[in-house]
Amino acid sequence: MSDATVEMKGAAGKPIRGKLSRDDIIMRGSMLVIGLYLLITMVFPLYAMLSKSFSTYMFDLSAYEVQVSDEGGATFSEPVTFADLNSTLNVVTEGDLNAGSDGRLGVTQFFPDFSFRSPVNYRIRNTSDTGRFLVGSTLNDTTNWVELDSNTFRRVQLRPVESRGLDNFRAYFGTPALSNSIKNSVMIATISTLITVFLAFWFAYALNRSCMRFKGFFRLVAMAPILVPSLLPGIALVYLFGNQGMLKELLFGASIYGPIGIIIGSVFFTFPHAFLIISTALSISDARLYEASVVLRGSPWRTFWTVTIPGARYGLVSAAFVVFNLVITDFGLPKVIGGQFNVLAVDIYKQVIGQQNFEMGAVVSVVLILPAIVAFTIDRFVQSKQVALLSARSVPYAPSPNTKLDWTLFGFSSLIAVFIVGILGVCQFAALVKFWPYDLSFSLNNYQFDRMDGGGWGSYYNSIKLALLTAVIGTAVIFFGAYLVEKSNGFRTGRTIFQMFAMLPMAIPGMVLGLSYIFFFNNPSNPFYFIYGTMAILVVSTVTHFYTVSHLTATTALQQMDREFESVSASLKQPTLKLFSRVTVPVSMPAILDISIYLFVNAMTTVSAVVFLYSPKTSLASIAVLNMDDAGDIAPAAAMGMMIFYTNTAARIFHLIASRGILQRTQAWRSR
Amino acid sequence: MTTFKRAAFIGATLAALMSSAAFAETELTVYTAVEAEDLARYAATFNETHPDITINWVRDSTGVITAKLLAERDNPQADVIWGLAATSLLLLKSEGMLEPYAPAGVEKLDSKFVDGDNPPAWVGMDAWVASVCFNTVEAEKLGLEAPTSWQDLTDEQYRGHVIMPNPASSGTGFLDVSSWLQIFGEDDGWKFMDALHENIARYTHSGSAPCKLAASGEIPIGVSFAFRGAKSKADGAPLEIIVPSEGVGWDMEATAIVAGTAEMEAAQKLVDFTVTKEANEMYNTGYAVVAYPGVAKPVEHFPENLIDAMIENDFEFAANNRAAILSEWSSRYDGKSDPK
């Protein structure tokens, strides 16, 4: 694999440095390979997208020449360009010359006395090979003269040529229909964040700081939304609050299609993410602080604000930014229930799929990356400020029973559980009903996916294949990459750059990643062109999309291992890779299993990154949900969504059993 | 893809060597926007006479397939396009992406269904026609009268009860808008849409969704196409399919060979088949109007007066003004209507 790299590194080594051992060379070579992987699957595509956003189309009036005949139709005038004609007539302004890739400009406006009945004939040609014009719908891209009568000449349309500039961005911010989405997206994300973090905080509080009953059940329920695509709550909301909804009276005439629907659905699908982070923050606390507060006669309220909240603040901030990022970059939910309420992620889809305007799609992507990156940077910054809450002398906090509080929190948690289970239950019910709302008898008709537009059962099997491949390949690549970053010696710059690359995917919305893959990989001159339209590109995009969280899990696990293992193995003259396979991997097994199930579940549910990349042969279950909903087949969409849910649940259970077995073998050393 | 094809070829060769009775298989990548449930039937009918050609379908909605083809302009993946809107094929033609070919027997088709060039760049199959799906049960609950014309739909009683596809993403939506501009003329067409916009609940991404939503009673009136309405009605939805009196827009599904295909011979065989009487009888199962004169039998639940109501559609106008119409439409109606 790395023979060439080894040679190259060997030649580049400066004489001053200590001699690199064979191990170092292998480690650096491997790091280069994985670094190269991230470069190709992320940095280059993003660059291709950025460059696309500056690619504009202009009508070049000087690229065409015309001749006009006299009334006899045979004697022609000297050739003139449209630019010459326009300089005297001024029929089109500079702004009119900007166009999309499918722009067209009629030519008769340059001839004030044009009449399609006149006997005058016209000749037109391109002055260069790049020029293009249409007669009717026939393309002319040669420099030969084309002679046309008046009646045909009116059907001539000029085509724009490619150039570069900021015009796309100018057009974007000059079109309120487009730029309003920025405001909409930020508003939706902010409100959803506030609600989710508030709910998740109290839910996590109930689970960590009270003596409420059925904690295990609540924890299980809270994690359920992670197992379904984000658009599934949208479908459930249609059944609950749509015009034929079971509970539509509860909305008092407001429409679920729009911000209300997006916010409710967003709270559903982001809840587990916020809950996990806040729960971790709340699970660590020092009982001595609470004792001090009691001794100082602090009221429970005061204790809450001066001890509990400050202790959880990093978790709260982190949860807020994660939720904000998830909501603003989510595409499935607003697509299903957004109605006429435009948001950025859906705009990208509309521009690219609906209007084939790839340039504008790239512009919206650039706009969408900005808030995502800001949220991401602030979060990383805040996290870096975090200091250890738990010192060696800390005493873990143990909640004491408090009937009133416990039951209040139980009631609150039950409401959340009803909300989550209810959404899933409604979807399952809808999937089984024959023809909502006119025929409520049960049938399995909605599971006949092969009769619907969306890829049929094949797409479901494709999804499982994608999820398995992503889990296996992704875990291998990501864990090994994390190992190299954590455990190799020297090569500081290389490691820092690698670490930066590994953090970047978190800030890149899935839609943007998918679109950038089109620009980069769907290009015959790209040596990786062959993966376009295959399962491989779906695996690559999914691994890259979910790289960061897996990478962080792996590094955290690896940091817990003393670097002395490496020193010992080096002094015993054992190759690092042997150490890696014999010690590091078995010891880190829990983390490795966590990464693989994380990748599996996300590969099953992801829509945004793959929606631009699937081909009919590699259609996916999550895409099928989207497309069936799109075509109005809402019940089958719910049915497929629930198939994803059951598959992920099964995978989770399998993961649990497998982990138990594997952990018993590999982790026996942990207990004496 | 090419490696895949090579692998497939090697596989096919091996298979041929192993069993002497095997056919020399040719694989054609065919892009289509035909409804999923019809594809298997189309391929099976074709294979009855051409068992040696395997069709690999690439199916998606009109907009997506068009986008895909345009994106692959410099390195086309498709061999044949079978069943894509003529307006889309005109766009592809204007990019020089279609291989002109006169299929055997093309002269028997209604000339309205064949590209004007000689040899034609594309050949039509069947027409899909706009109409209005009207849910009688929900209408009665809401006290709505059945509309009989496009102008009726602008009446105040229908406020919030009409749904139509977004022309920027749906071929059906675009044929509606382009037909209104042709029926009412440019200025009155936009005036009509301004008024209609007041009554629209929302614009859907797909062209069949409005009728399915009308069928499920979600929105009582869906501007969609007749074929979809007839299917939902056959499924038991309380629908009435209304043909507005001013006339209805239509587009046709058409077939073309993609320029640069490596499988020209097989592609021509397929296109030859698509214009046969047999193929047109096959289209007739779902479409009341087909290219081969005298073939069409009435389709169940199809409104009777539909064919007479089809307007004289100027496809060139629609294709060449598409960008301008869509940008005007978007600036008028897209995003301005945020529900409050």
- CB contact under 8 Å between B323 and A102, yes or no, is yes
- CA B322 remoteness from chain centre: 16
Residue B71 has pLDDT above 60, yes or no: yes
ipTM of the complex: 0.78
Residue A5 has pLDDT above 50, yes or no: no
Residue A672 banded pLDDT, cuts 50, 70, 90: low
- Output the pLDDT for position A671: 67
- For residue A147, give the 3-state DSSP assignment: strand
Contact between residue A448 and residue A454 where contact means Cβ atoms under 8 Å apart: no
- As a whole number, mean pLDDT of residues A126-132 equals 86
Estimate the crossing angle of helix A456-469 against helix A634-666, to 10 degrees: 30
- CB contact under 8 Å between A438 and B217, yes or no, is yes
Residue A118 banded pLDDT, cuts 50, 70, 90: confident
A506/A551 Cα distance (integer angstroms)? 11
- Output the pLDDT for position A389: 62
- As a whole number, mean pLDDT of residues A352-356 equals 78
Contact between residue B313 and residue B182 where contact means Cβ atoms under 8 Å apart: yes
CA nearest neighbour of B281 among B269, B267, B291: B291
- For residue A57, give the 3-state DSSP assignment: strand
- As a whole number, mean pLDDT of residues A187-204 equals 96
CA nearest neighbour of A56 among A16, A114, A98: A98
- Output the pLDDT for position A12: 52
Q: Is the Cα torsion angle A617, A622, A626, A631 positive or negative in sign?
A: positive
CA dist A655 → A218, A466, A600, A648 (Å): 20, 17, 10, 10
pLDDT 10s digits, A205-219:
999 989 998 999 999
**Average pLDDT across chain A, whole number:** 88
Residue B273 banded pLDDT, cuts 50, 70, 90: very high
B308/B244 Cα distance (integer angstroms)? 11
Contact between residue A425 and residue A590 where contact means Cβ atoms under 8 Å apart: no
Residue A188 has pLDDT above 90, yes or no: yes
Residue A429 has pLDDT above 50, yes or no: yes
- As a whole number, mean pLDDT of residues A338-351 equals 90
- As a whole number, mean pLDDT of residues B172-194 equals 94
A615 at the B interface (CB within 8 A)? yes
Looking only at the bridges linking them, the beta strands covering B162-165 and B200-204 are parallel
- B230 - beta bridge partners? none
Range of weakest confidence among A158-162, A562-566, A585-589: A562-566
Residue A390 banded pLDDT, cuts 50, 70, 90: low
Residue B15 has pLDDT above 70, yes or no: no
- CB contact under 8 Å between A340 and B202, yes or no, is yes
- For residue B119, give the 3-state DSSP assignment: coil
A526 to chain B: closest CA residue: B75
- Min CA distance, A182 vs chain B (Å)? 12
- Output the pLDDT for position B228: 85
Chain B CB contacts of A534 under 8 Å are 1, 4
- CB contact under 8 Å between B72 and A522, yes or no, is yes
- Min CA distance, A84 vs chain B (Å)? 25
Residue A7 has pLDDT above 60, yes or no: no
Contact between residue B241 and residue B230 where contact means Cβ atoms under 8 Å apart: yes
Largest alpha-carbon pair distance within chain A?
109
Range of weakest confidence among A124-128, A487-491, A615-619, B272-276: A487-491
CA nearest neighbour of A153 among A197, A113, A100, A99: A113
Identify the residue with better confidence: A388 or B193. B193
- As a whole number, mean pLDDT of residues A405-420 equals 95
pLDDT 10s digits, A491-536:
788 888 888 889 889 889 999 999 999 899 988 788 998 898 899 9
Helix or strand holding residue A435 (H, E): strand A433-435
- A433 - beta bridge partners? A442
Which among A258, A353, A435 has CB closest to B64?
Answer: A353
**Tokens at residue A614, please?**
């699937």
- Output the pLDDT for position A620: 94
CA dist A153 → A139, A150, A156, A408 (Å): 14, 5, 5, 79
Q: Which of B334, B336, B337, B340 is most worth mutating to test chain A (most A CB atoms within 10 A of its CB)?
A: B334
**Average pLDDT across chain B, whole number:** 86
Contact between residue A291 and residue A396 where contact means Cβ atoms under 8 Å apart: no
Residue B24 banded pLDDT, cuts 50, 70, 90: low
Residue B338 banded pLDDT, cuts 50, 70, 90: very low
pLDDT 10s digits, A14-58:
555 566 777 888 888 888 888 899 999 999 999 999 999 998 888
- CB contact under 8 Å between B216 and A244, yes or no, is yes
Q: Which of residues 341-360 of A touch B (CB under 8 A)?
A: 341-342, 350, 352-356, 358
- CB contact under 8 Å between A139 and B36, yes or no, is no
Residue B56 has pLDDT above 50, yes or no: yes
A610/B231 Cα distance (integer angstroms)? 31
- CB contact under 8 Å between A340 and B203, yes or no, is yes
Q: How far apart are the first and last CA of chain A?
A: 41
pLDDT 10s digits, A77-88:
899 999 899 888
- Min CA distance, A133 vs chain B (Å)? 9
- Output the pLDDT for position A451: 76
Domains of chain A, first to last? 22-46+463-641+656-670 (1.10.3720.10), 58-162 (no CATH), 170-438 (1.10.3720.10)
Residue A134 has pLDDT above 60, yes or no: yes
A518 to chain B: closest CA residue: B71
A24/A268 Cα distance (integer angstroms)? 47
Which among A356, A437, A632 has CB closest to B209?
Answer: A632
Cis peptide before B119 (omega within 30 of 0): yes
Q: Taking CA A104 as the corner, what is the angle to CA A523 and CA A346, rounded to the nearest 5 degrees?
A: 55
A162 at the B interface (CB within 8 A)? no
Which among A244, A352, A616 has CB closest to B58?
Answer: A616
Chain B CB contacts of A631 under 8 Å are 61, 206, 208-209, 212
Residue B61 has pLDDT above 50, yes or no: yes
- As a whole number, mean pLDDT of residues A319-327 equals 92
- The winner for highest mean pLDDT among A490-499, A578-587, B198-207, B270-279 is B270-279
Residue B3 has pLDDT above 70, yes or no: no
CA dist B4 → A25, A480, A534, B68, B246 (Å): 36, 30, 10, 19, 51
Residue A583 has pLDDT above 90, yes or no: no
Dihedral (Cα; B187, B192, B195, B196), 10-degree rounding: -140
CA dist B193 → A549, B35, B159, B330 (Å): 49, 29, 14, 12
Chain A CB contacts of B64 under 8 Å are 353
Range of weakest confidence among A33-37, A545-549, B63-67: B63-67
DSSP A69: B
Residue B247 banded pLDDT, cuts 50, 70, 90: very high
pLDDT 10s digits, A603-657:
999 998 899 898 777 889 999 999 889 888 899 999 999 999 999 999 999 999 9
- As a whole number, mean pLDDT of residues A172-198 equals 92
A13 at the B interface (CB within 8 A)? no
- Min CA distance, B135 vs chain A (Å)? 12
- Output the pLDDT for position A17: 58
Residue A352 banded pLDDT, cuts 50, 70, 90: confident
B335/B97 Cα distance (integer angstroms)? 34
Contact between residue B243 and residue B236 where contact means Cβ atoms under 8 Å apart: no
Q: Which of B28, B31, B84, B95 is most worth mutating to test chain A (most A CB atoms within 10 A of its CB)?
A: B95
- Output the pLDDT for position B49: 92
- As a whole number, mean pLDDT of residues A147-163 equals 88
- In this structure, the number of other CB atoms found within 10 A of the CB of residue A89 comes to 13
pLDDT 10s digits, B294-317:
888 877 888 888 888 999 888 888
- Output the pLDDT for position B193: 96
Give chain B as a 3 state SS string: CHHHHHHHHHHHHHHHHHCCCCCCCEEEEEEECCCHHHHHHHHHHHHHHCCCEEEEEEECCHHHHHHHHHHCCCCCCCCEEEEEEHHHHHHHHHCCCEECCCCCCHHHCCHHHECCCCCCCCEEEEEEEEEEEEEHHHHHHHCCCCCCCCHHHHCHHHCCCEEEECCCCCHHHHHHHHHHHHHHCHHHHHHHHHHHHHHEEEEECCCCHHHHHHHCCCCCEEEEEHHHHHHHHHCCCCEEEECCCCCECEEEEEEEEECCCCCHHHHHHHHHHHCCHHHHHHHCCCCCEECCCCCCCCCCCCCCCHHHHECCCCHHHHHHCHHHHHHHHHHHHCCCCCCC
- For residue B167, give the 3-state DSSP assignment: coil
